[in-house]
Amino acid sequence: MGTREEVTAWRPRVPGVTEVFHAHFTEYAYPMHVHEAWTLLIVDDGAVRYDLDRHEHGTPHDTVSLLPPHVPHNGSPATPHGFRKRVLYLDGTRLGDDLIGPAVDSPDLADPVLRLRVAQVHTALTHPGDELEADSRLTLIGDRLRTHLRPRSLPDVPRRDPALARRLRELLDERVVPGLALDEATVLLGAHPAHLVRSFSTAYGIAPHQYLMSRRVDRARRLLLEGRSPAEVAVATGFYDQSHLTRHFRKLVGVPPGRYRDSAR
């Protein structure tokens, strides 16, 4: 039987993410090498065996592996059918140098919640237009990684901040069509991005990216009932394209936008 190697790689429009890499390797083994960026790795099928700083490690199910920059490592299949993995390469704006030592000591984190969140980021990154969702989730992932690796290093920041949440909501309301990047909101509101996301979610029971998409879908509904085409509506309401509109519209309304428009009397 021949080998089957599959690779997909791209650079998303999300600050601090230098590359997204999805791969299925059956026999290929990485030699010792280094990366300039942090490597955040989950394995969806099979397992990987690797050496980091002359110590052997592995990637069992529900594990998130965090490999620090400039530290040599390799990698090879640990099962007969190889492995399928998803990787985020993150620069220093996402994870600081102070985590390198702890990550060398404990690169594999058995945390099902963390793994789920990393998988959710990958899903968001496969859909252009969902950058705010990916950025928000990555911000919370960074905090969770830090609590694993340096549990005493995080400041005691209160989660509740209704005034800040209200200011972010007002900003999102002003930017429904053009959208809002998390780093821009951080500058405008003078708050840590993780605190922004948490305070908004706590105050309103919905994440900022979900709120923004809900507002866009509401606008889309009105325009569709006026008889405008889904392609026109997608542009007019801030979606990346018609496919992006359809995915979120169907999620929130239950039917695709074209069918919704045709139902109007």
pLDDT in tens, 189-220: 999 999 999 999 999 999 999 999 999 999 99
In angstroms, the CA 117 to CA 123 distance is 10
**Which residues are within 8 A (CB) of 144 and not within 5 positions of it... i.e. 6 or more apart?**
111, 113, 114, 117
For residue 156, pLDDT beyond 80: no
User: Which one has a higher pLDDT value, 4 or 118?
Assistant: 118
Which CATH number is correct for 6-149, 3.30.930.10, 2.60.40.1120, 3.30.1300.10, 2.60.120.10? Answer: 2.60.120.10
Region 154-159: mean pLDDT is: 52
- What class is the 212-262 domain? mainly alpha
**Which residues are within 8 A (CB) of 58 and not within 5 positions of it... i.e. 6 or more apart?**
47, 48, 49, 50, 78, 108
Q: How many helices and strands in the chain, by DSSP H and E?
A: 10, 10
For residue 88, pLDDT beyond 80: yes
Say what the pLDDT of residue 1 is: 44
Give 120-126 contacts, CB < 8 A, sequence gap 24+: 121/88, 122/20, 122/22, 122/42, 122/86, 122/88, 125/12, 125/14, 125/17, 125/20
For residue 135, pLDDT beyond 70: yes
Q: Indicate the length of the chain as a whole number.
A: 265
**Which residues are within 8 A (CB) of 130 and not within 5 positions of it... i.e. 6 or more apart?**
124, 209, 244
pTM for the model stands at 0.88
